[in-house]
Amino acid sequence: MPLASSDEPGAEQRQEPRLALLLRTAKVVSPQGEFLCIIRDVSEGGVRLRLFHLLPESFDGGLVELGNGAQFGVERVWESNGEAGFRFTQPIDLEAFMGEASPYPKRAIRLCMDVPAEIAFAGQQIPVRIHDLSRQGACIESEELLARGQVLRIKGPHLPEIEATVCWRRAPNYGLVFDRIMTMSDLAERAAAMQGALAARSSDPVQAGRNFIASPFMQ
C-alpha cells in the first residue's frame, strides 16, 4: 500500500496491490509505549492499521511488531477515524510479513511496560511492577515470594481488580493468568492509559480514563 504525500487516507495512490490481513493482531512499538493494533492491509510500501485509540501526539515513527516478534520500521503518514497509514522505512519481505512464520507456538500479543500495581492475598497487599500485559494475563515483578498455582487479585491505575493465578515463577518475576479474558479494546485502552498515552491526547485526562473504565471490562 503505497502512501501518498497527502495526510489524508483518501489521497493514497494504490499502484501496488494491497493484501487484506483482517484481524491480524500486532502492536506498535515506540518510545512513547507499546500499543495494540490490527493490521488491515499491507503492501511492499506500507501498512494500514486499525487503532483502538489515538497515538501519542509526539509519535512520529516506530516499529510494527507481529505476533512472531518480527519488527518493521514505520513512519506515520496519516491517522483518521480509528485507522492509520504507515510507510515502511526499509524494503520488506512481503511473503515473510504475510506468513508470520516462527519456530515457536504463537502467543498472544504482550504489551511491554513498567508500571506500578498491587496484588492481594491472605489479607496482605503487596506492591508490584507490571512488566507486560496481555488479554490473558501479565508478567509482574514482586519482592514477595509467590507459589506456582497461587490465587491472588491484582489491581492498579486504570486496571480494575482482577483475580489471577500464578502460572510460572522465576523470582522476582512471575507470570499471571487472569480468570477471564480481557477484550481487545479494553486491553488497548487500559494499556495506553497506564503508559500515559490517552491522557496526553485528551483535553480532560480524567474523563479520558472514565470513558472506558465505566465500560464492561471483560466478555
The predicted-structure confidence for 22-65, as pLDDT tens digits, reads as follows: 578 999 999 999 999 999 999 999 999 999 999 988 888 899 99
Q: Where are the beta strands (DSSP E) in the chain?
A: 19-30, 33-42, 46-51, 62-65, 71-80, 83-88, 111-121, 124-133, 137-141, 151-156, 159-170, 173-178
Q: Are residues 119 and 81 part of one domain?
A: no
Q: What is the pLDDT of residue 22?
A: 58
Instruction: Report pLDDT for 196.
Output: 85
Q: Is pLDDT above 60 for 1?
A: no
Q: Is 4 domain-assigned? A: no
Q: Are residues 119 and 215 in the same domain?
A: yes
Q: Are residues 118 and 219 in the same domain?
A: yes
Same domain, 154 and 51: no
Same domain, 215 and 138: yes
> How crowded is the C-beta side of 17, counted as CA atoms within 13 Å?
4
How large is the greatest C-alpha to C-alpha distance in the chain, in angstroms?
63
d(CA 96, CA 169): 34
83 and 159 co-located in one domain: no
Between CA 41 and CA 17 the distance in angstroms is: 10
The region of weakest confidence among 83-97, 166-180, 191-205 is: 191-205
Which residues span the domain enclosing 141? 110-219
Question: Is residue 15 very low, low, confident or very high in pLDDT (cuts 50, 70, 90)?
Answer: low
* Same structural domain, 48 and 143: no
Q: How far, CA to CA in Å, does 55 sit from each of 14, 151, 158, 168, 192?
A: 24, 35, 18, 33, 9
Map residue 52 onto helix, strand or coil. coil
Give the tens place of pLDDT for each residue, 71-102.
999 999 999 999 999 999 999 998 888 888 87
Single pTM value for the model: 0.80
Which domain-ending residue is among 65, 99, 133? Answer: 99
Q: What is the pLDDT of residue 199?
A: 61
Asked, for residue 48, whether it belongs to a domain, the answer is yes
| pLDDT score at 18 | 67
> Does one domain contain both 217 and 140?
yes
Does the pLDDT at position 167 exceed 50?
Answer: yes
- Domain for residue 105, yes or no? no
Shared domain for 22 and 120, answered yes or no, is: no
Q: Please state, rounded to an integer, the average pLDDT across all residues of the chain.
A: 84
Does residue 92 lie within any of the structural domains?
Answer: yes
Residue 2 lies in a domain: no
Please state the domain count of the chain: 2
Question: Is 164 in the same domain as 126?
Answer: yes
Question: Which one has a higher pLDDT value, 9 or 57?
Answer: 57
